[in-house]
Amino acid sequence: METNSATTNSASTVSASTVSASTAVQRNGELRGKSQSALIWFEFRKRRMAVAAAGLILCLVTASIFAPLLANGRPIYYEGFNRFEYQEAARTLRGALTQLIDARTAEKPGANIEPFFKTIALQIRLMANALAPEKGAELRTLGEQMQAAGRSVDRTAAVEELKRLQREVRSHFDVKEMTLVSRPNWPVIASLSGTEVGFIAANLLLLLWPCWNWLLRRTMTGQRDRWHRWGTIGLFCGIPLLVSSLWWWVIPVRVDRTDYKAGLLAAEADSAKAPVVFET
C-alpha cells in the first residue's frame, strides 16, 4: 500500500511538473517575438498592487490637470454681460493710448510701440463684443483709426489724432452710458492658457489610450511594431502641441479678475450696479 501511495504521489508530481513546464513553454511561445514594451506591460499587469497604484496616480494627475476647470470661482457658462470686464477694458485702452501718445511725443530712436497696438486691438475687441452690433462696429472703426494714427509718419498729427480718439472713447463709450448686450459667456474656458489646454489634451489622450491604441493597430495592420510605436508617440505628442498652439494663436491670454460671486440676476433691483448680470 505504501509503495502504491508513493507511486501515485510521484506520478502526480511528475504530472504537475509536466503541466507547469508545458504552460511555461506555451507562455514563452506567446511572448516570443514581442517587443520590449509589450513584455514590460505583460509583467506589469500581473502585479495587481502596481496596477492599482498606477490607477491612483492617474486619478491624481487627472485631478491636478483639470483643476482650472474644477477649482475656481468662475461659472462654466452663463448668459448675460460682464460690466466689470468692459470697464477694465476701457480703462486699459485709455492707458495704452496714453502710453502710445507719450511714446510718439518722445519719439525715441528704436522704441518699440508694437505692444501698444496689440493691447489696443485686444481691448477694442473685448469692448465691441459687449456692445450692440452698431456700437461695436463704430468702436472697431475707432480702433482702426487708432492703429493708423499711431503709425503715422507725421508725429505731431499722430499725437493730436490719438488725443482726439482718446477723448471720443471716454465720452461716447463710457460704461455708465453704454447699454451692454447679453450674450453667451464661457469664463472658465476663456481663462485657460495654451499650456493648460495642451496638458488637458494630453491627459485625455492618456485616458482614452485603449481606444486610439486599438484604432492604430487596426489602421496599421501588417505594419511593423516600430511604425506602431512611432505612431503612438506622434499622436500623444503631436495632438497636444497642435491644440496648444491653435489655442494660443486664436484665444488671447488674459487675466479674469471679475468677482462673479457679486453678480446678480437681471430681474434684481441692484443689477444696474452689479459687476456681472446673469440672464440665465
Q: How many residues does the chain have?
A: 280
* Angstrom distance (rounded) from CA 93 to CA 87: 10
* Angstrom distance (rounded) from CA 218 to CA 208: 16
pLDDT digits (tens, 9 = 90+) for 179-208: 899 999 998 888 888 888 888 888 888 888
Query: Which architecture, in CATH terms, is 80-182?
Result: Up-down Bundle (1.20)
* Angstrom distance (rounded) from CA 242 to CA 27: 41
pLDDT digits (tens, 9 = 90+) for 211-247: 777 777 777 665 556 666 777 777 788 889 999 999 9
**Sign of the dihedral through C-alpha 99, 101, 105, 111:** positive
**Amino acid, single-letter form, for residue 71:** A
Task: Tell me the percentage of the chain whose pLDDT exceeds 90.
Answer: 30
* Angstrom distance (rounded) from CA 229 to CA 34: 13
What stretch of H or E contains 252?
none
Q: Where are the domains of the chain?
A: 80-182, 192-250
Over the Cα atoms of the chain, what is R_g?
32
**Amino acid, single-letter form, for residue 246:** L
Q: Is the pLDDT confidence value at 4 over 70?
A: no
pLDDT band (50, 70, 90) for residue 82 = very high
pTM comes to 0.70
Q: Is the pLDDT confidence value at 25 over 60?
A: no
- The grid coordinates of residue 27 equal 507562455
* Angstrom distance (rounded) from CA 121 to CA 85: 15
Residue 255, strand partner residues: none
